[in-house]
Structure 1
Amino acid sequence: MKPVLATAALCLTLFAGAPQRAHAENPAESRQKIEGVIKAFAKALVDKDKEGFMRLFLREDITWVGVYTDGSLARYRASLKDPKEPSPKTESSTPRKFIEKIVRAPEARTETFENVRIDTDGEMAQVLFDYSFMVGNYRNNWGKESWQMVRTENGWKIAGVIWSAEENPEPPPKK
């Protein structure tokens, strides 16, 4: 019996000096903070706030990929002078290139978020929603968007973004 007590005492001594790891947030608190990131994302687009936008991301080189619907791709290919010209089904970029394009654009750019679903354990999260991307009052494209997020010492950060895009078949209104 004494070896068991000695082993238990040794374990307690070792673990007592070990640094304590932060515990995961409860899911309700995490959801509230993640919803704050979604609002900050939308606000940064409206305000054309490049620095505020970039602070939402874990790093600049995260996965940032859009995939076009078959209908959008067919309309694009039909518009080409040479329909055999390659046209990618996916578009890869970076958050910085995205916000820089928005900052340079003369008209307002906004994104709406509907049917937001957040699944989290307090450390990581999957966020899925329906979106519409607006250029002025014109609904440019829409689809589903997915964010992978992680909780860091500096709050919740977006670690990956993937979306589908149905391009509006109606041309934008003439200026």
Structure 2
Amino acid sequence: MENVLAAVLTTGMLALAPQAASAQDVQGSQQIEQVIETFRVSIINKDKDAFLKLFLKDDITWTGVTTDASIEHMYANRPNPALKRPSKLFNSNPRAFITSIANDKARVEETISNVRIDSDGEVAQVWFDYSFKSGDYKQNWGKESWQMVRTEAGWKIAAVVWSQALNPVPPPKAGTP
């Protein structure tokens, strides 16, 4: 009886023990990390083609949620407070995003940190902290989440959702230090 109990306990403990990452899991994470890096660099380089190749299709979910504090600040600083309150939600698409970056004369960069990847090898959730800068001005920051799928052509971003705190300090005026 003791041997049976010991075998059951040992088997149960092995089932609960963290499993070593398989070579396929490591390779998948490395491929996803490469997508993240290509995303980041294509923004800096204003490379529309490289950027758009990262997405499953043009019309993915692309939604930002502005923090309540940022909405209050925007509303309080409107020239006419009677105007409609700004929306918390911002919807767009990858093409409009990279086009606006390519048209911006300033250096644009999205910094990415604290990346977390959860994947079963076919789908993945990517979660990270970001901050977005135009020139030396930090425009907004928050958390960003991607849903990804592994296709025949590699990992593709299927949805992007983020929070955004807007910088309450206006950008410096051109020609001022």
For Structure 1 versus Structure 2, the TM-score category normalised by the shorter chain is 0.7 to 0.9
The amino acid of 2:149's aligned partner reads: V
The amino acid of 1:45's aligned partner reads: I
| Counterpart secondary structure, 1:151 | strand
Partners of 1:139 and 1:31 in 2: CA distance: 29
Partners of 2:95 and 2:88 in 1: CA distance: 21
Divergent runs of 4+, >2 A: none
Partners of 1:137 and 1:38 in 2: CA distance: 22
Q: Which residue does 1:73 correspond to in 2?
A: 71
- Pairwise CA distance, 1:84: 4.5
Which among 25, 34, 44 is matched to residue 46 of structure 1?
44
Partners of 2:150 and 2:139 in 1: CA distance: 32
Q: For residues 1-175 of structure 1, what are the structure 2 equivalents within 5 Å?
A: 26-80=24-78, 81-175=80-174
Over 3 Å counting, the alpha-carbon distance change for 1:86 and 1:169 in structure 2 is closer
Partners of 2:120 and 2:136 in 1: CA distance: 38
- Pairwise CA distance, 1:61: 0.4
- Pairwise CA distance, 1:60: 0.4
| Counterpart secondary structure, 1:26 | helix
Aligned residue pairs: how many? Answer: 152
Partners of 1:170 and 1:86 in 2: CA distance: 20
Task: Provide structure 2 residue ranges, at least 5 long, that are not aligned to the other structure.
Answer: 1-22
Question: How far does the alpha carbon of each residue in 1:43-97 deviate from its partner, in whole angstroms, 9 at most, with x for none?
Answer: 1101111111000000000000000000100011112213441321100000000
Contact residue 77 and residue 83 of structure 1 kept, 8 A: no
Partners of 2:141 and 2:73 in 1: CA distance: 15
What TM-score, normalized by structure 1, do the two folds share? 0.84
The amino acid of 1:34's aligned partner reads: I
Contact residue 26 and residue 121 of structure 1 kept, 8 A: no
| Counterpart secondary structure, 1:143 | strand
The amino acid of 2:24's aligned partner reads: N
**What is the identity percentage for the equivalent residue pairs of Structure 1 and Structure 2?**
51
What TM-score, normalized by structure 2, do the two folds share? 0.83
Q: Which residue does 1:14 correspond to in 2?
A: none
Partners of 2:36 and 2:144 in 1: CA distance: 12
